[in-house]
Every structure is written in C-alpha cells, then in structure tokens.
Amino acid sequence: MSMKLLEGKIVLVTGAARGIGKAIAIGCADAGADIAFTDVVKDENFVNLENELNSKGIKAKGYVSNAADMNSSAQAVEEILKDFERIDVLVNNAGITRDALLMRMTEEQWDLVINVNLKSVFNLTKAVQKSMLKQRSGSIINVSSVVGVSGNAGQANYSASKAGIIGFTKSIARELGPRNIRCNAIAPGFIETEMTKAIPEEARLEWAEKIPLKRAGQPKDVADLVVFLGSDMSSYISGQVINVCGAMLT
C-alpha cells in the first residue's frame, strides 16, 4: 500500500489561477491533497483550474479574494474553514512586479508591490494561525525570490518585498515552532511564466545562458519543493530559505 505524500492534507494556495501557483495546486493535488485556492478574479484560468483539480478525484474549490486586503483574506479563510474544516498547508504565492529604476519609481508602484507581495503574507498567515494552533500542526510556505536575497537593479520594491518575506518567515518559524507549525521560504530564480514573459526574449535567453543548469526553471520545479515542504518528509525543516534556481544564486 503506497501513501501519497500529501494524502489527507488540505492545502491553500494564493494566486493560483496561473503560473507557479497553478503548478503548486496541481502538484499538491497529484500528491493527494485537497486544494483550496484564491485569485483576484473568477476568469477562464480560475474556472479551468478548478475543473482540472476536481477531475483528479480530490476536493478542490477556488475563492475570489485579494491577498493584499486583510478583510478579504480573513473572509476567504473563514469560508475555506467552513468548506474544508482545516488548513494544513498555506502557500503564500500571490505576487506581482512593477519594475522601475528608483528615479522613476512611483509611490503607487512601491505601495502596490509591498501590499500584494508582503502584506499578503501577513494577512493570510494571521488568518490561518488560529486553526493551525488548534490542530497543533501546520506548514506555511512563502514564495520569495532570489532577488529578495541578492537585490536587483530596477526591482527595489520587489526585492524589498521578497526580503521582507524572508524576515517574516524566520520570525514565524521561531514564534510558532513550539506549536509544531513550520514556516519556510522558497526563493525561485528565473521561472518561465507570464510574469517573466514581460522580459524581452533577448534578455531572457541571456539570463538562461548564465544559469549553471543552462535553462530557465519551470513552474513544476517550484511545485515539487512545495510538495516536500508541505509533507511530513520535511518535519524537521523550518525557518529556512531554499533556492530553486538552477544554481543561479549560490
């Protein structure tokens, strides 16, 4: 009898309608988890993912919610707890870029990126905390970035938000560790999604060439680590930042 890695677990993924979040939802479903996911609008991607997940014979449901908004996040989590009864794994994936050199960066670009990327992690973690404390277990996985570690010209807002996620992750690991709640951050490098399609092809190829593994990452490369960090295989791993970057950042 083989047991799938996430069988019996409920996973919540934010910003899952496409890209890395979608791959995480599918990867966790394939590992046997039931999936609750959020995104900002109920568009074609959203409905397609909900259908694809449900066709796998697990329980899955999408919730329209803005992760940057505290009330909207609390409300989504409340509904999810009604529908699924518990949340074992929270994956804070929702994120955006508004790249600009500091000279040109507006207050709006700064605030939006900090709120969607960093405040969202506070909003969701706070909302699931009570139920994880009650069940005395949980795994929180925050999607940071290699540029949160290294910094990047033209991405001061994004890098600051991703570095902030790392500080938050380490603090929560220390604060909630005694209650058997783990918290880790993932730092992807260059992953092929809609987000990175915004970068001109020439620059993308040049980047990929500089990566020791000689290729861009795929969303599934990140999802595989999420499955591991969500599972009991990683029960002694907490407070860490793990790069998924083909050795781009060592």
Residues that are catalytic: 158
DSSP helix/strand/coil, 86: coil
Given candidates 25, 36, 40, 58, which one binds ligand NAI under the rule CB under 6 A? 40
Residues of this chain, 71-130, that bind ligand NAI according to CB under 6 A? 93-96, 116
**Shortest separation between residue 193's beta carbon and ligand NAI, angstroms:** 3
The conformation of residue 198, written as its DSSP 8-state character, comes to T
Could you tell me the smallest distance in angstroms from the CB atom of residue 14 to ligand NAI? 5
Please work out the total of residues on this chain that contact ligand NAI, with binding judged by CB under 6 A. Answer: 27
Residue 196 as a binder of ligand NAI (CB under 6 A): the answer is: yes
Q: Confirm if 181 and 235 have CB atoms less than 8 A apart.
A: no
| CA–CA separation, 113 and 110 (whole Å) | 6
Instruction: Look up residue 33 and give its two tokens.
Output: 């988890």
Tokens encoding 20:
């890395």
Among the listed ranges 18-26, 79-87, 125-133, 234-242, the one in contact with ligand NAI (CB under 6 A) is 18-26
Q: In this complex, which beta carbon is closest to ligand NAI, that of residue 138 or of residue 246?
A: 246
Distance CA(207)–CA(218), nearest Å, equals 14
User: Is 149 among the residues that bind ligand NAI (CB under 6 A)?
Assistant: no
Q: Are the C-beta atoms of residues 123 and 70 closer than 8 Å to each other?
A: yes
Candidates 129, 139, 145, 155: give the one binding ligand NAI (CB under 6 A): 145
SS3 53: helix
Which stretches within 55-200 are classed as H helix?
70-84, 107-113, 120-135, 146-150, 156-176, 194-197
Specify the stretch interacting with ligand NAI by CB under 6 A; choose among 2-10, 34-42, 74-82, 207-215: 34-42
Footprint of ligand NAI (CB under 6 A): 14-15, 17-21, 38-40, 66-68, 93-96, 116, 143, 145, 188, 190-191, 193-196
